[in-house]
A and B are shown apart, each in its own frame.
Chain A
């Protein structure tokens, strides 16, 4: 698969990292907000556990703390609230410039997004987790399979979320205003991904519904590997599901992009 060579991919990733690294004030503000929301979310979950007699759906207080802080750390990494940069480029017609470049549009944006995610993890992820671990406790994974799969799982979470956001942005080719559908995405991803509340707490029907979508793969799966709620073959199965979603959604994104490009060519933008 030489759609994108390794060197340009690394360059795109580095550019993505550097570009976002210029927003330092924003990163400080983001850490603060993530931490405040983390405290609120965790307080509610701990109260749930107290009412349930100490632990709930397999989560003890340390696991809940881990859940809360890893899910907060992942907000920016997997861009729960998405962005509309690509959609804006479609709307303004700048997309034509991107399409004219001698690199694959989807994979070059993916490379840049991985760079951005790396910066987000460093700048916005570490502090909330450290804060949470210091004040509320943290479950350090001990299962070798989970530990080995943790980093791949976070990368796959970014890839799956990218593939979804990529398609979401491409709807701008067909819709004049994407804000409505973006809001829809944010609400669904917030709940179904397990960002607001762990999927293990869902009633059966909602749990089934959530796991019929790719959303748990972008938040809940990396968390499950950290909290120790998924170990061994169970952890491997979850990561395998991430791989399947990543490949399937990226392929789907290519089909959508091809259709959008044809539309652009036919209608002249």
Chain B
């Protein structure tokens, strides 16, 4: 037990050092925080423009799509805050910083994850939560304990899912030197897609982003339960409650991919 506390103390020291390093650049920090908020405004402008043209999208109205958006952005913001920088892996590999990780008595993945903690991304999380709260009111969600439980756990499970996607796709960096853009299709693509009702998408995209990259569990499926709706496409209702278990499976898959990538890096073949 003493060992465990001590390891977490090591990671805590690493994260704390990242936070204090940022504090020394106050002006640029403020600008970036503001631009994170602006990002949400611009992204949400797309939803706003869509509903300027039509009253419903894929069977969902403005407030309901805003709810999806709020769930998705809070989750993605949290994941981005905690592990979004793992896509810098190719840079660390190229400059040899990754070897420095390997020479320390801590997990290389743990060190990569704690190598940054971009507090400016808090702007996105907070704006996402604000959108979520407004949407819950506007969509007339009935506040049962079950709905409340889903509303609180969904962004957390969603963050774990997105975090796993970040880590899983970052491992591409172990295998190809300049292919990191691939990751964007699943991380940013997943975030983009998860803020719209899945009824909008074709079957291939729906299946891909439900079963392979499980971002359907970030917003769409739980939102169906929160809004007391059945899936128009016929997925069973209980799937709405599977966010947390799915997020754990995603973490396990991400760690397996990481181990495989690391084996490739140390030249053990894959």
A interface residues, Cβ below 8 angstroms from B: 23, 25-26, 28-30, 32-33, 36-37, 39-40, 43-44, 46-48, 51-52, 56-57, 176-177, 179-181, 183-184, 187-188, 190-191, 196-197, 201-203, 206
Contacts and interface: CB of A to CB of B under 8 A. Distances in A.
A37 B42 CA distance: 17
Nearest to B196: A44
A201 B185 contact: no
Interface string B35-55: 110110010011001101111
Question: Which of B28, B34, B56 has the most C-beta atoms of chain A within 10 angstroms of its own C-beta?
Answer: B28
8 contacts: A25-B178, A44-B196, A48-B53, A51-B58, A56-B54, A181-B31, A191-B42, A206-B49
B4 interface: no
Contacts of B199: 47
Interface of B: 25, 27-28, 31-32, 34-36, 38-39, 42, 45-46, 49-50, 52-58, 176-182, 184-185, 189, 192-193, 196, 199-202, 205
A180 B34 contact: yes
Contacts of B56: 51
A47 B58 contact: yes
A180 B26 CA distance: 12
Given A25-B176, A37-B189, A201 B182 contact: no
Nearest to A199: B49
Contacts of B53: 48, 51-52, 56-57, 201
Interface residue SS majority, chain B: helix
Given A51-B55, A187-B35, A36 B189 contact: yes
Contact of B35 (A23, A176, A180, A197): A180
A48 B50 contact: yes
A33 B42 contact: no
A220 to B, nearest CB: 13
Contacts of A188: 42
B58 A190 contact: no
Given A25-B177, A44-B200, 16 more contacts: A26-B178, A29-B182, A32-B185, A40-B192, A40-B201, A51-B56, A51-B58, A56-B53, A177-B28, A177-B31, A187-B38, A188-B42, A201-B52, A203-B49, A203-B52, A206-B49
Nearest to A202: B49
